[in-house]
Structure 1
Amino acid sequence: MENKAENKVNEKVSDTMTNPVNKSANEHTPQQIHRGRWKLYLVIAICASPLFFSYLTYYVIKPTGRTNYGTLLDPRLYPMPKLDSQLQGSGAQELDAYKGKWIMLQVSASDCQAACKKSLLNMRQLRLMQGKDMDRIERVLVITDQNPMETSLLREYDGTHVLRADAKNVEAWLPAEQGSTMQDRLYLIDPLGNLMMRYSVDADPYKIKKDLDKLLKASSIG
């Protein structure tokens, strides 16, 4: 009898020791759930880190060993606006008429002084130097007053699209560093219509060409 009673006690002890283990095999404690969530967050962070750091480097840190000659602009900040512009000698025409191609853009008053003329010359030569890719580039001169232009200037730089727009509309769009104006800069617009780079009007055209070479080679549009 004593042996039977002892066996029953041992079975109860065995059950109390075995059942919690079996139960825990099917259920997770709060600590285990917490650790599992952190592991998931860690995996997501590892996968997302290359994108995060590339974004941080491009838009915040700005790598010092850059290969571009011009000043890079964040294209998301400068989408092409409606300028209420007029095509020289014609009717209303917006800058977006040239979307789908790379646009070199110069801004000037109608008298187009020496720096303006040099920029127009550079734009013409830069386009010609692209050879078979020259048709991927358009040249645009935006005039910010209503005074007449020299016909000889228009003939000399034939192929440059001349638009007239209100100076306030243009200034609200084009960025210029402190101490300079938009007339002091040559701007580059991508085929999607976003402003993405600027140069000084007296920038080295051969170095600008290197930037254009890289952009045209890397781009599948325009």
Structure 2
Amino acid sequence: MNTQLKKNRITILVIFAMSVVPFAIAWFLADNPGKVRLGTNNGELIAPPFTTEPSDFSGYDSFSAENIKELQGHWILVNVLHGDECPDACRDGLYKTQQIALMMGKDIARIRRLALIFSGAAQPLPDEWRRDARLLKAWPSANLKATLDKIIAGQQSGALLIMDPLGNLMMKYQPGYDPYKVRNDLSKLLRISQIG
């Protein structure tokens, strides 16, 4: 009889624990949402996404000014250049986006590359930029510049943003990002996207 009483008590405690523990876990996660990483993306989602307008981008050179409409309806890899010069992180970022675009294979036609130049000074472009015939170069509008300062929080040049075909800045990567991880994220986006 004594063993049956112990079994009953254990059963009651297990049932009690099964009903209380999930609520305790949910309570903890509600107070600490950063403890759980959801999703399979490697980049950091920009929440909520920031919607840009075509007028937010003005061509830096004649090639970019003529082809700035290419930004509409395509997935855009956005390299950010903060200062007057392109340091190693900036050059590395430009090279990586070029390689990412090439790694996309048949989807390369759905992707465009954009270098956003924050400085208004008429500095000569780095040689890599002039030689790259597929790289669009643009100045952001004052509104976009202020928003990007918040999104990338004053990081140095070399940060990468992904913009969807509707003009939404929706994902960001820290300088020194892994191009294979960006390619994986971009492949998933292109696979499920019904636009661009």
Out of 66, 87, 91, the residue aligned to residue 39 of structure 2 is 66
Equivalent position of 1:198 in the other structure:
172
Measured after TM superposition, the shift of residue 65 of structure 1 is 3.9
Name the CA distance, whole Å, in 1 between partners of 2:65 and 2:122.
17
Equivalent position of 2:51 in the other structure:
79
> Cα gap change, 1:195/1:119 in structure 2, threshold over 3 Å: closer, same or farther?
same
Name the CA distance, whole Å, in 2 between partners of 1:194 and 1:64.
23
Measured against aligned partners, the alpha-carbon deviations of 1:172-219 in whole angstroms (never above 9, x if no partner) come to 2223355x3373521000111111100012111111111011111111
Out of 128, 147, 150, the residue aligned to residue 125 of structure 2 is 150
Name the CA distance, whole Å, in 1 between partners of 2:143 and 2:94.
22
TM (norm. structure 1) is: 0.62
The residue identity in structure 2 corresponding to 1:88 is: D
Out of 147, 153, 176, the residue aligned to residue 151 of structure 2 is 176
Name the CA distance, whole Å, in 2 between partners of 1:117 and 1:84.
21
Name the CA distance, whole Å, in 2 between partners of 1:207 and 1:102.
16
Unaligned runs of 5+ in 2: 1-31
Measured after TM superposition, the shift of residue 74 of structure 1 is 2.7
Equivalent position of 1:116 in the other structure:
90
Equivalent pair of 1:87/1:164 in contact (CA under 8 Å): yes
Higher relative contact order (CA 8 A, sep 6+): 2
Matched, 1:104 2:50: no
The residue identity in structure 2 corresponding to 1:153 is: E
* 3-state SS of 1:220 partner: coil
Calculate the aligned-residue CA RMSD, in Å: 2.9
Unaligned runs of 5+ in 1: 1-59
Equivalent position of 1:207 in the other structure:
181
> Cα gap change, 1:61/1:221 in structure 2, threshold over 3 Å: closer, same or farther?
farther
Equivalent position of 1:48 in the other structure:
none
TM (norm. structure 2) is: 0.70
Provide the identity percentage: 32
Equivalent pair of 1:84/1:93 in contact (CA under 8 Å): no
Name the CA distance, whole Å, in 1 between partners of 2:58 and 2:102.
27
Measured after TM superposition, the shift of residue 110 of structure 1 is 4.2
Alignment of 1:127-166 (within 5 A): 127-144=101-118, 145-150=120-125, 152-165=127-140
> Cα gap change, 1:157/1:91 in structure 2, threshold over 3 Å: closer, same or farther?
closer
Structure 1's consecutive aligned runs of 4 or more residues displaced over 4 angstroms after TM superposition are 60-63, 90-97
Measured after TM superposition, the shift of residue 97 of structure 1 is 4.6
Measured after TM superposition, the shift of residue 84 of structure 1 is 5.8
Equivalent pair of 1:106/1:120 in contact (CA under 8 Å): yes
Measured after TM superposition, the shift of residue 137 of structure 1 is 0.4
The residue identity in structure 2 corresponding to 1:152 is: D
Matched, 1:89 2:62: yes
> Cα gap change, 1:177/1:123 in structure 2, threshold over 3 Å: closer, same or farther?
closer
